[in-house]
Structure 1
């Protein structure tokens, strides 16, 4: 009994998932929220949900065998369970996120959306997550996000109070290198406002060379983030093409 309890405690510390694991968990959560009559899901339904063209970024083309293996790995982690139908013929799958974590319903919806689409602005995230759980205002979203930020389950590139801020989940594997660049100026805005009353501070802020450098750096950061997203998308496409080639060779017997 004690060993099982310790195992469950370890499961609560899961903070990394593969790209396929995030997609599968995201689909199970999304369908549980939006189409409860069709949930739990069959293997075919999970695969279709992972590869659907809407509300997915990047769009994938996983095979049923790939999704089966991913579901199996999630079962070992205690995040997914198999449910057998009354006839015993069709296996269905459900998530166990509520058993393994103390997330609120809005927090589950937020993570679902981030796992399925990646980084988003606050406005985009609120609108999309509200498909699953009502999140009436940005202030309500900030409250839920703060709890996730404190536990390092999500990340942001600045203060949640700042306009245009972007949010992403923080369940990437280390090799993916998906870390949002936190802008120091976002945290220092209130302090800067006070300092601007000082003549010396106003003089420094007015220097055109420093202002120009700041603009260039911000643009470079934005371009770099865009390039990262494009590279990630291309890498995913390459992985899928490699898998298709392997499957084709197996079918041809080579």
Structure 2
């Protein structure tokens, strides 16, 4: 993590609405910088969009405004006034108020917006915002976030199928725990006690390998389809945000 003399603000114990609103400000700053900082309307639309969000929310502008005020009190965001003071816009201060680098900010953004994910999914989605060149780069940044107490995992990061999630939940919030990690077949083979030679079944070995390979190909294909759908929905959402901002500007000029 990068060093800074700025006094840092804790990200722990962020309620669900604060995570969603903060995540939206981060995401839009990365993906549509020309429309950032966000108006209240744009922030509300971003919170309620149906892609890249889990769970999907239905906040109204009063909900989002109250949450923005709470995040301001924590020092994580600020409110700006456009020329003439007719429209308030909101921006995050995460680059100044936390020691997180750009890759770590992108990772935390995705985890705040979607919750737990496998590493392949997380890298694809976070790379929409900041380049993460390899799984090894992702693991390095995740390990740093885990050391800081911001991310948790259900097993070693070098294991296939591991899930990670942010660790910002308040103690009072009920949240779905990460699935218990179970070793894959290769681990299980090495950990079993040796069987007597007469009990070994030679045909069973290739059947297991074929089954594992098929399952892995299916999982990879399923993940690619989900990622393509997310990308398409993200483009649609960014177009909607642009359209909303255009409407805001047209009303201002017309008024």
TM-score, scaled relative to structure 2: 0.69
In the aligned structure 2, how far is the partner of 1:75 from the partner of 1:176? 21
Which residue, out of 72, 75, 78, partners 2:72? 75
List gaps (5 residues or longer) in structure 2.
200-255
In the alignment, does 2:30 pair up with 1:33?
A: yes
Which residue, out of 60, 64, 86, partners 1:89? 86
- On the 8 A contact 2:26/2:92 being kept in 1, the answer is yes
In the aligned structure 2, how far is the partner of 1:155 from the partner of 1:177? 16
Q: What is the Cα deviation at residue 185 of structure 1?
A: 5.7
Q: Name 2:97's counterpart in structure 1.
A: 100
Q: What is the Cα deviation at residue 182 of structure 1?
A: 5.5
Per-residue CA shift, 1:198-251, capped at 9, x if unaligned?
Answer: xxx436xx9xxxxxxxxxxxxxxxxxxxxxxxxxxxxxxxxxxxxxxxxxxxxx
Work out which structure has the larger RCO, using CA pairs closer than 8 Å and 6 or more positions apart in sequence: 2
Q: Secondary structure at the match of 1:174?
A: coil
In the alignment, does 2:4 pair up with 1:12?
A: no
In the aligned structure 2, how far is the partner of 1:184 from the partner of 1:117? 23
- On the 8 A contact 1:156/1:182 being kept in 2, the answer is no
Q: What is the Cα deviation at residue 13 of structure 1?
A: 2.9
In the alignment, does 2:63 pair up with 1:66?
A: yes
Q: What is the Cα deviation at residue 86 of structure 1?
A: 1.2
Q: What is the Cα deviation at residue 184 of structure 1?
A: 8.0
TM-score, scaled relative to structure 1: 0.69
In the aligned structure 1, how far is the partner of 2:52 from the partner of 2:161? 21
Q: Name 2:228's counterpart in structure 1.
A: none
Q: Name 1:164's counterpart in structure 2.
A: 161
Q: Name 1:210's counterpart in structure 2.
A: none
- On the 8 A contact 2:145/2:151 being kept in 1, the answer is yes
In the aligned structure 2, how far is the partner of 1:38 from the partner of 1:13? 27
- On the 8 A contact 2:154/2:179 being kept in 1, the answer is yes
Q: What is the Cα deviation at residue 57 of structure 1?
A: 0.8
Q: CA RMSD in A?
A: 2.4
List gaps (5 residues or longer) in structure 1.
207-254
- On the 8 A contact 1:57/1:117 being kept in 2, the answer is yes
In the aligned structure 2, how far is the partner of 1:60 from the partner of 1:13? 25
Q: Give the helix-richer structure, 1 or 2.
A: 1
In structure 2, the CA distance between the partners of 1:84 and 1:150, relative to structure 1 (3 Å rule), is same
- On the 8 A contact 2:15/2:169 being kept in 1, the answer is yes
In the alignment, does 2:127 pair up with 1:130?
A: yes
In structure 2, the CA distance between the partners of 1:150 and 1:103, relative to structure 1 (3 Å rule), is same
- On the 8 A contact 2:9/2:74 being kept in 1, the answer is no
In the aligned structure 1, how far is the partner of 2:85 from the partner of 2:9? 31
Q: What is the Cα deviation at residue 14 of structure 1?
A: 3.3
Runs of 4+ in 1 over 3 A off after TM superposition: 181-186
Q: Which runs of structure 2 are paired with 1:139-178 in the superposition (5 Å)?
A: 139-178=136-175
